[in-house]
Structure 1
Amino acid sequence: MASIMTNTSAMVALQSLKATNKALEVVQGRISTGYRVAEASDNAAYWSIATTMRSDNKALSAVQDSLGLGAGKVDTAYTAMNDAIEAVDSIKTKLINARGASGENQTKIQAEIDILLDQIRDAALGANYAGTNVLATDSTAPLEIAASYNRASDGTVSIGTISLDLTGIRLVAADGTTVDATQHLAHDIMQIDVVANGSDASIDAYLEDVETALGAMSTAAANLGAVKNRLDLQKDFVSNLMDSIERGVGQLVDADMNEESTRLQALQVQQQLGIQALSIANQNAQNILSLFK
Structure 2
Amino acid sequence: MSSILTNNSAMVALQTLKSINMNLGKVQSEISTGKTVESAKDNASVWAISKVMSSDVKGFEAISDSLSLGQATVGVALNASESITDLLTEIKAKIVNSQEENVDRNKIQADIEALTSQIGSISAAAQFNGLNVLSNQETTTAYTAAGTAADGSGTVSILSSLDRSATGVAASNIDVSKGDLTTQTGVAGTIGALNAAAFTVAGTATANGAANATYTIVGETTTAGRTQAVMAGDSYEFNMEIFDAALTGTPFATAQAASAGDGRALYVAKDGDTAADIASNLVDVMNFRLAEQGFGDDFTITSSGAAITVTNNTATALAAAAAGNITTNAGGTTSGGLALLNEVDVTTENGAAAALSAIEGLIQTSIDTAADLGSSALRIETQADFVSKLTDSLTSGIGALVDADMEAASAKLQALQTQQQLGVQALSIANQAPQTILSLFR
TM-score, normalized by the shorter chain, greater than 0.5 = yes
- Residue by residue over 1:241-260, the C-alpha shift from the partner in whole angstroms, topping out at 9 and shown as x without a partner, is 11111111111111111111
Q: Displacement, 1:209?
A: 0.9
Q: Displacement, 1:101?
A: 5.0
Tell me the equivalent position of 2:74.
Answer: 74
- 8 Å contact from structure 1 (residues 99, 199) kept in 2: no
Amino acid at match of 1:255: A
- 8 Å contact from structure 2 (residues 72, 128) kept in 1: yes
**Helix, strand or coil at the partner of 1:188:** helix
1:189 aligns with 2:344: no
Amino acid at match of 2:173: T
Amino acid at match of 1:185: G
CA RMSD between the two structures: 1.6
Tell me the equivalent position of 1:37.
Answer: 37
Tell me the equivalent position of 1:54.
Answer: 54
Q: Displacement, 1:38?
A: 0.7
- 8 Å contact from structure 1 (residues 100, 199) kept in 2: no
| Mapping of residues 39-188 of structure 1, within 5 Å | 39-100=39-100, 105-139=104-138, 141=153, 142-154=155-167, 156-166=168-178, 169-172=179-182, 177-179=184-186, 180=267, 181=281, 184-188=336-340
Worse-superposed segment, 156-165 or 82-91: 156-165
1:12 aligns with 2:12: yes
Q: Displacement, 1:100?
A: 2.9
Greater RCO between the two (CA within 8 Å, min separation 6)?
1
Amino acid at match of 1:119: Q
**Helix, strand or coil at the partner of 1:20:** helix
- 8 Å contact from structure 1 (residues 60, 242) kept in 2: yes
- Residue by residue over 1:199-258, the C-alpha shift from the partner in whole angstroms, topping out at 9 and shown as x without a partner, is 233212101111111111111111100010000111111111111111111111111111
Q: Displacement, 1:288?
A: 2.2
- 8 Å contact from structure 1 (residues 63, 146) kept in 2: yes
- Provide the rounded CA distance (Å) in 1 between the counterparts of 2:405 and 2:130: 48
Q: Displacement, 1:102?
A: 5.5
Q: Tell me which protein shows more strand as a share of its residues.
A: 2
- Provide the rounded CA distance (Å) in 1 between the counterparts of 2:101 and 2:63: 57
Q: Tell me which protein shows more helix as a share of its residues.
A: 1
**Unmatched 5+ residue regions in structure 1?**
none
Tell me the equivalent position of 1:238.
Answer: 387
- Provide the rounded CA distance (Å) in 1 between the counterparts of 2:92 and 2:20: 88
Worse-superposed segment, 33-42 or 127-136: 127-136
- Provide the rounded CA distance (Å) in 1 between the counterparts of 2:101 and 2:441: 138
- Provide the rounded CA distance (Å) in 2 between the counterparts of 1:110 and 1:259: 82
Amino acid at match of 2:393: S
Q: TM-score, normalised by structure 2?
A: 0.62
- Provide the rounded CA distance (Å) in 1 between the counterparts of 2:137 and 2:176: 15
- 8 Å contact from structure 2 (residues 345, 351) kept in 1: no
Tell me the equivalent position of 2:400.
Answer: 251
Q: Displacement, 1:115?
A: 1.8
- Provide the rounded CA distance (Å) in 1 between the counterparts of 2:100 and 2:20: 103
- Provide the rounded CA distance (Å) in 1 between the counterparts of 2:71 and 2:358: 31
**Number of positions where the alignment pairs a residue of Structure 1 with one of Structure 2:** 283
The runs of 4+ residues in structure 1 deviating greater than 6 Å are none
- Residue by residue over 1:133-176, the C-alpha shift from the partner in whole angstroms, topping out at 9 and shown as x without a partner, is 0213413521111111011123x11111111222xx1112xxx6
- Provide the rounded CA distance (Å) in 1 between the counterparts of 2:28 and 2:177: 58
Amino acid at match of 1:71: Q
Tell me the equivalent position of 2:246.
Answer: none
